[in-house]
Each structure stands twice: as C-alpha cells, then as structure tokens.
Structure 1
Amino acid sequence: MELANIEKLLEKYLNAETTIAEENELKAYFLSDNVAPHLQEYQGVFNYFSASKNERYTKTIQLKSQPWNWKWLTVAASLILLISVYTGYEKNQERKAEKIYAETHMALSMLSTNLQKGTVAIGELQEFETTKNKIFKQFK
C-alpha cells in the first residue's frame, strides 16, 4: 500500500467518512509489521479494536430474586384506596347533613320569629276589634 493513500484513508477515518472496506484496509495496514514511524501512534488504536473484538464476559450474573409479592401489595393498596374513598364519602355526607340541618334551623327560627310578630299583631288587631265594637255599640 502506498503511504499517501493510507494517510488519506486515516484522515477520512478520523473524520468518520470511511466505508467498511476502507476501514478493513486501514486495519490490515496497522496490524502488519511495516507501519510508517509517524503513524505508529495509531497502531495501538487498531490493535486495541482487534483485541477487544474477541473479548467475552464469562462470569455468571446473579440476579436478585424479588422479595415482595407485588400482587398482594396492589390488592392492599386497592383496599386502602377504597376505604379512604368510602370514609371521605361518609364525611362528605355528614357535612352535607350538618349544612342542611343548620339551614333548616335558621329557616325555622326565622319562621318562629315571624309567627311571634304575627301573634302580637293579631293580638293588637283583636284588641282593636273589641274596642271598635264597644264604641259602635254605644252609639247605636
């Protein structure tokens, strides 16, 4: 291979513009023994890539077993949610009943007050009526 071509390919490789065939050509050049002295710094990179390509991880990986039974946890969460919704509903009904009681109490007290005024007014009218009857009976 001619050195000028290798330098052009290396420049393209560093700019990530090479094809697979050009990269294989560079790999073959740098894995050989006759690398130009000013390009020997790149030889370590290509040696690393070829060596790491053959590495395999052989140890077994132990996965932790799941200690919780998530089905029971979801059932428990659902029950808690249902109980809290029911309790909230009961509290809401209780507040509504208290509000209705307070409004009814206020309406009945207003009615009682007005009835007392009416009773007093009827008493005054009754007194007026009896006085009027006494006056008109005397003039007859």
Structure 2
Amino acid sequence: MEYNKMEALLEKYFEGETSIAEENELKNYFSSLNVAPHLEQYKPLFGFFADAQKEKFEKDVPFIQKKQKAAWLSIAASIVVLIGIGTYAFFDMNKENENKKLGTYDDPKEALQATQKALALLSNNVNIGVEGVQYIYVYEVTKEKVFVQ
C-alpha cells in the first residue's frame, strides 16, 4: 500500500504538483533503508537533495564599497565635463574671430562690389520666390472654379 502511495507522490512530484510536506515525505522515504526495488532508481535523486542541504558555502566574498566606486565615477564625470567645456570654448573663440572679420572693408570700391554681389544674390532668390507664388495664384484660381460650380 505504501508503495502505491509513493508511486503516486512521485508522479505528482514530476508533474510539479506536490506540496512541501509531500516532498519531505518523499525525501524521508528515499533516505530510509526499505525502498521498493522498482523505485531504487530514484534514490540517488533524493539522496542528492539531502546531501546538498548539508553543504555550506565557506568562501569569502570580497565586499566592494559603493562609496569608492561612486568617488571614482564622480571624478571621471567631472573630467569629461571639463574636457567638454574646454572644447566648446576653444571652438567658440575661433568662430568669434571669424565673425569679426565679416563685413569690414578698408577699400570703398571693394565694399561696393561686395554689396552689389549680395544684392544681386538676394534679387535672384526673391525672383525665384515670386515665380513660386504665381503658381500658387494659378492653383487658387483653378480651385475656385472647380469647387464653386
């Protein structure tokens, strides 16, 4: 009778449906000397669990303090920020020097030529924009004819 009960418990165990008390009952049964011959194959499995419970972890685990880690991390972050600020300041000074030279001419003839060149460029771009607006006007007139009627 006890063998049938153990077989049923084993089946429940392998299905993952046993409770802690039933698993303890299985461990106790397989650690005893009167195990049924046809269930002997499961004895090492439950014997392993009993042996594993007796083992203790005795190795020292080194403890790394978070304060030391945080200190190095903050120092590294500060260095990165300082390098970034220095790089920005260096390139910003170069742009200021370039911008100071724009629009200053010592020779009036050279200044007149540069002004005429800039005005011609502006005129060309405005004319291109006016042509685009004319297409929009034609579109609006056509749309009014289609949707009004």
Q: Which residue of 2 aligns with 1:39?
A: 39
Residues of 2 paired with 1:106 and 1:3: CA distance?
A: 112
Question: Which residue identity does 2:18 align to in structure 1?
Answer: T
The alpha carbon displacement at 1:80 in A equals 0.4
Aligned pair count reads 110
Letter in 2 for 1:2: E
Question: Is structure 2 residue 136 aligned with structure 1 residue 108?
Answer: no
Q: Which is higher, the Rg of structure 1 or of structure 2?
A: 1
Gaps of 5+ in 2: 118-149
Give the RMSD, CA atoms, in angstroms.
3.3
Inter-partner Cα distance in structure 2 for 1:106 and 1:92: 24
**Counterpart of 1:52?**
52
Question: What percent of counterpart residues are identical?
Answer: 35
> One-letter code of the match for 2:76?
L
Q: How far apart in 2 are the matches of 1:6 and 1:112? A: 105
| TM-score with structure 2 setting the length | 0.58
Q: Structure 1 residues 44 and 112 mapped into 2: Cα distance closer, same or farther (>3 Å)?
A: closer
Deviation string, structure 1 residues 6-61 (Cα, Å, up to 9, x no partner): 11110110111111111111111111111111211111111111111121121323
Output the CA distance in 2 between the equivalents of 1:106 and 1:33: 112
Question: Once the 2 structures are TM-superposed, how far is the Cα of residue 75 of structure 1 from its aligned partner?
Answer: 2.2
How far apart in 1 are the matches of 2:22 and 2:6? 9
> What amino acid does structure 2 have at the position aligned with 1:12?
K
Q: Which amino acid aligns with 2:46?
A: F
Q: Which residue identity lines up with residue 31 of structure 2 in the other structure?
A: L
Specify the SS of the correspondent of 1:29: helix
Residue 3 to residue 83, structure 1, CA distance change in 2 (3 Å): same
- Cα separation, partners in 2 of 1:109 and 1:58, compared to 1, 3 Å: same
The aligned residue for residue 88 of structure 1 is 91
5+ residue gaps, structure 1: 114-140
Q: SS state of the match for residue 50, structure 2?
A: helix
Aligned-pair CA distance for 1:110: 5.0
Change (3 A) 1:109 1:55: same
The whole-number CA distance in structure 1 between the counterparts of 2:27 and 2:38 is: 16
Matches within 5 A, 1:1-140: 2-62=2-62, 69-94=72-97, 97=99, 100-101=102-103, 108-111=112-115
> Any idea what SS the aligned residue of 2:76 has?
helix
